Chains A and B, each alone.
Chain A
Amino acid sequence: METTKSTAMDFSKETLKALDDYIESLDDKQGLLIHILHKAQELFGYLPQDLQLYIARKLDIPAAKVFGVVSFYSFFAQEKRGKHNVSICMGTACFVQGAERVYDALRSALGVEAGGTSEDGLFTLNAVRCIGACGLAPVALIDDKVFGHLSEEKIKDIIKEYREGMQDEDQYAESAV
């Protein structure tokens, strides 16, 4: 897995241009800082500090303000994430249906704590609050796909399937949308 810190210069010109165009299209640029950060994360996968600085200069606001906002909201990631985002729902409905056990199984299957990325760079584990699929509790999301009525065995099998399905694929591709 790539561990070197990337700089804004690493980002492709096209992606940066897409971000610039988006910012240009807005009227209330500073008021829409959160939207801009959403867009940037969608384009780059995460929000490294160089990118935060880039956005701050673009909007003519202190970088501290951008960092303050990025660090405040749990949706924004400052670290590179794995190819797949595994989000276990820790809402109350899931909790009373045994989400904790599923979470433990996930942590041991991936070898990471919440927020961490597995060594092979395939999975980033998140514990999220209610995703509103309480009827299927306990649930987990892998990227946009919902897996319901989970048990410890079931989640391990699902992770295994993902791992096996990935063997032929190229190692780590930027998850730009």
Chain B
Amino acid sequence: MKINTLSQLSKLREDGAAVCQLRESGIGGGSTAEILVGMATCGVAAGGKQTFAALERALRNRGLSHVRLVKVGCIGSCYCEPTIQVNIPGQEPVFYGNVDEDAAIAIVDSHLLKGNVLESNRLQIGYEKAGLNSKGQKKQQRIALRNCGSVDPENIMDYIAFRGYEALGKVLAEGNPEAVVNSIKASGLRGRGGGGFSTGSKWQATAQQPTGEKYIICNADEGDPGAFMDRSILEGDPHSVLEALAIGGYATGANKGIIYIRAEYPLAIERLKIAIVQAEELGLLGKNILGSGFDFTVELRLGAGAFVCGEETALIHSVEGGRGEPTKKPPFPSISGYLKKPTTVNNVETLANIPPIILNGAGWFSGIGTEKSKGTKVFALVGKINNVGLVEVPMGTTLREIVYEIGGGIRNDRDFRAVQTGGPSGGVITKADLDTPIDYESLKEIGSMMGSGGMIVMDDSDCMVNIAKFYLGFTRDESCGKCTPCRIGTKRMHEILERITNGEGVPEDLVKLERLGNTIKISALCGLGQTAPNPVLSTLKYFQDEYKAHVIDHKCSTGSCKGLLRYRISEEACTGCRACVKVCPVNCIHLANKPAYRIDSAVCTRCGACLAACKFDAVIVE
């Protein structure tokens, strides 16, 4: 079947209206109950497949085979996966978390058979979809994630029921590419991959190039460790990205879209492939889309594990099949990109915002957020936080709201230490800035950056020097080696940090770190190198005391830096049983003050074997 006109598309949407209503509100939602099971990577890893199978069995055994089981993407509540949603016509949809096989059976027995919600697993959903009629009562407003967890990503009809491809139909019917560019520009949408450049301006730059071969590329090379919003969108709502690419292609004059996706995301790749085939079958991709005369195809290109490929010039070289090394800008890809043709590169989350902007208008979008940062941002809230997961909040939300209200506070009631945003390119936000409204500018001001949206929460047991070393280790490994400041500079910085965490640091190291960091920032070729020193510079600024403790007193208050630990034996507690002597791999425990033994610190490797062996708590770690 091909859809040739806008009215055919509308007809399909109306056919699916019941499904949509059932999932959104439960009111007027047809006659068939259904259970949605979260089956994104994290849901599957947590046992989603077993839950799905248990539900299938339980429904069959209880004569409830008519209840539809639907695989959906992720609702973002990673801390209580697997999650399911039970939709019974005429009733409010109910979400459940931690649904293992037993809970799945209990839910079928209690909720579907007897009509009693199983309160023990009930999940309160903290978001609402940011539509025109949204009341804004909840902290979380979903635009980019609007369909994640609501539609079956492998069924295009679900997407169409949720107004899918309507925005594409609208721009094709209006037939004014320039107006599309202007509308995106007016909406204030900025790149969600890190840079924060105006999406509309990017589109305009490509659109202004002479007509001819042009490309639009979706950057799905999400490499920032601790960020997974792009994966979630691709796995939960792949059509939204395809639709946005087609809209962008139409606006900029490109007939070909390419999705560059990292090979580490097999499920996202599979779902994208299915989505492309389905869209082609319906004629929503391909030749003469909806009778408009506009042709557009989408192709997948796989990455192969290189963080630098997130940088747009490096990405383009990788798409061309070569080494993903960045090149100097200008020329910008908008003028000379893939195969030296004008190319627009947009991030997944950025693209997911496009269809709602077209449908609801630029004014609606620019009404959300702060003065210079419009709309919402998805953050991957991870680390020492109770409610690990994906959150989408309007720009300008404070960190305190995100950590304490949405995230449920710090795990085990420990003290908040810092949040790292911007991943290996960003910096830390400390307690003092908990009330800063988060947007592109404010984060930059406090020495961090938006980045792709990873938000790693750390408590008082995390050593900031060690964290900085972790990030430098990452950028050192991922530096492509093309420019000297990044290749050698990050290695040297990492070496200094290695020394400091091994207890061999000297005060002068801190001066060196700062000087070297600032030099790399201004001299590296691409974004990776220019931002690589940020985690060190930012922690140096906010946690200088901690660095000093490492290099002057040679102490790590959190005990994270093994090299700074000192093992000693308490003379009072030691019974002289020799249990520690027997396990010490380097024979550094000797009889000192009979019967007590002593550890020779100069030889000790801090392996901890004696600590584990001692039955009298005589081994003390400082």
Contact = CB atoms under 8 A, between A and B. Distances in A.
Given A135-B79, A136-B46, A92 B382 contact: yes
Contact of B264 (A31, A69, A76, A131): A131
A84 to B, nearest CB: 17
Interface stretch (A93-101, A117-125, A162-170): A93-101
A145 B265 CA distance: 14
Contacts of A136: 42, 45-46, 78, 81
Contact of A96 (B81, B304, B323, B456): B456
A135 B46 contact: yes
Interface string B228-271: 10011000000000000000000000000000000111000000
Contact of B470 (A32, A34, A92, A135): A92
* Residue of A34, A38, A74, A135 with highest tally of chain B CB at under 10 A: A135
B388 A31 contact: no
B620 to A, nearest CB: 20
Interface in A1-52: 30-35, 37-38
B305 A137 contact: no
A170 B265 CA distance: 31
B420 interface: yes
Nearest to A144: B266
A146 B43 CA distance: 11
A34 B223 CA distance: 18
Contact of A38 (B263, B420, B456): B263
Given A33-B321, A34-B321, A92-B420, A133 B41 contact: yes
Interface string A124-168: 000011111111110100000010100000000000000000000
Interface in B297-325: 301-307, 318-325
B56 interface: no
A127 to B, nearest CB: 9
Interface string A87-122: 000111101110000000000000000000000000
B389 A135 contact: yes
Contact of A139 (B45, B301, B306, B470): B45
A30 B321 contact: yes
B225 A72 contact: no
A92 B451 CA distance: 14
B231 A132 contact: yes
A96 B320 CA distance: 37
A95 B470 contact: yes
Given A93-B226, A96-B456, A96-B458, A73 B45 contact: no
A151 B488 CA distance: 35
B304 A148 contact: no
* Residue of B231, B319, B456, B462 with highest tally of chain A CB at under 10 A: B456
Given A73-B306, A74-B306, A130 B321 contact: no
Contacts of A91: 225-226
Nearest to A92: B226
Given A34-B302, A130-B227, A134-B228, A97 B383 contact: yes
A129 B474 CA distance: 9
A65 interface: yes
Nearest to B339: A31
A137 B78 CA distance: 11
* Residue of B45, B305, B389 with highest tally of chain A CB at under 10 A: B45
A32 B231 CA distance: 23
A137 B388 CA distance: 10
B607 to A, nearest CB: 10
B384 interface: yes
B124 to A, nearest CB: 17
B314 to A, nearest CB: 10
B322 A69 contact: yes
Interface of A: 30-35, 37-38, 65, 68-69, 72-76, 90-93, 95-97, 128-137, 139, 146, 148
